[in-house]
Amino acid sequence: MTENYDILANHGHVPVMRERMAQLIAPAVEAAGETAVLVDGTLGAGGHTEYFLKTFPQLRVVGVDRDSASLAAARERLAGFGERFVGVNARFDDLGAAIAAGEGPVFETAREHGLAAGFFDLGVSSMQLDQVERGFAYRTDAPLDMRMDPSQPVTAADVLNTYSHGELARILKTYGDERFAGKIASAVLREREKEPFTTSARLVELLYATIPAATRRTGGHPAKRTFQALRVEVNRELEAIEQVIPVVTDALRVGGRAVFMSYQSLEDRIVKAAFKELSTSTTPPGLPMDLPGTAAHFTVITRGSEKASEAEIAENSRAASVRVRALERLDGELSFHGPEPVREGGRR
């Protein structure tokens, strides 16, 4: 591994826990040698991928992002790596199908040998937060959009203006852990009768008026939980995480590793449960050894969820809430596939 790496000044902050992420994938990448292919399922501005490509000279990366603007910027940033980087415009749980259908040496190598690693930095990217017009940030007035993929039809404004009281309360409670979900939902329904919601400032004003003053003084910004819940709902984020774990683990070669960085408890809970299932034998309890075909095909290589050090948080404050989990493939057959088919009603 290369020890020294200077972040380019025009690309902003240091990627979260970049050195630790490289350490986690290093054994898999180095074992794969010239056939090492990593999928960065959450490419964003390309910071982690740039660090990986500089750290591992033999590595090639398929970068996946549902946001065409982010993908275009990352392609420009990573152009100097030539054919070692390939960008794909897709939601990350479609990466298996993208690799199966992809043309060129990187995809051919991935299909023949499997992935050396899969990397996922979940949640909204810093690049998207910095684009005020996207509506992810609650501290600046902007259109209530919040779509990571602008081609998708449903915006945060659509959710606020069309969901029932029960639906709004559910997403605020489930995705935002909002104590006052029902009260906020009632206030939204009252206000939208007067005029539909279009911009973030009006929603923030409503939240200040609805959430009790005592809670506002101690619970952080009153809009944080609601904006998180709306973003997760608009982008079907938890659904995509559930879908991608079997997709990427099936595509790993023996010795390959999958690394997930989560920033909220719901994300981490999904990853933790899936990793536990993948790394647990299905032999009935009490037997002295695994029955044929029941041994676990994966092992978890992080002890619990890893957190960032004080130094890593000083490099990038976003690291304060991160939880990292990683697993390694022990055996099994390669498979490249997409998520489960969409059921009637548009849900997978």
Write out the residue limits of the CATH 1.10.150.170 domain(s) in the chain: 127-235
Structure-token pair, residue 343: 């059921």
Establish whether 297 is an annotated binding residue.
Answer: no
- Gap between the Cα atoms of 25 and 254, Å rounded: 13
3-state SS assignment for residue 136: coil
- Does residue 300 have a pLDDT over 90? yes
Establish whether 48 is an annotated binding residue.
Answer: yes
Structure-token pair, residue 233: 């709902």
Establish whether 197 is an annotated binding residue.
Answer: no
3-state SS assignment for residue 290: coil
Q: Indicate the CATH number of 127-235 among 1.10.150.170, 3.40.220.10, 3.40.50.970, 1.10.357.140.
A: 1.10.150.170
Quote the pLDDT of residue 72: 94
CB atoms within 10 A of CB 245: 22
> For the residues of 5-67, what is the DSSP string, one character each?
-PPPGGG-SPPTTHHHHHHHHHHHHHHHGGG-EEEETT-TTSHHHHHHHHH-TT-EEEEEES-
Establish whether 46 is an annotated binding residue.
Answer: yes
115-148 pLDDT tens trace: 999 999 997 655 555 555 555 677 778 899 999 8
Establish whether 121 is an annotated binding residue.
Answer: yes
DSSP label of 339: P
CB atoms within 10 A of CB 333: 7
At 65, the pLDDT band (50, 70, 90 cuts) reads very high
pTM of the predicted protein model: 0.84
Write out the residue limits of the CATH 3.40.50.150 domain(s) in the chain: 9-125+237-329
| Comparison of pLDDT for 214 and 75, the residue scoring more | 75
- Does residue 292 have a pLDDT over 80? no
- Specify the CATH number of the domain 9-125+237-329: 3.40.50.150
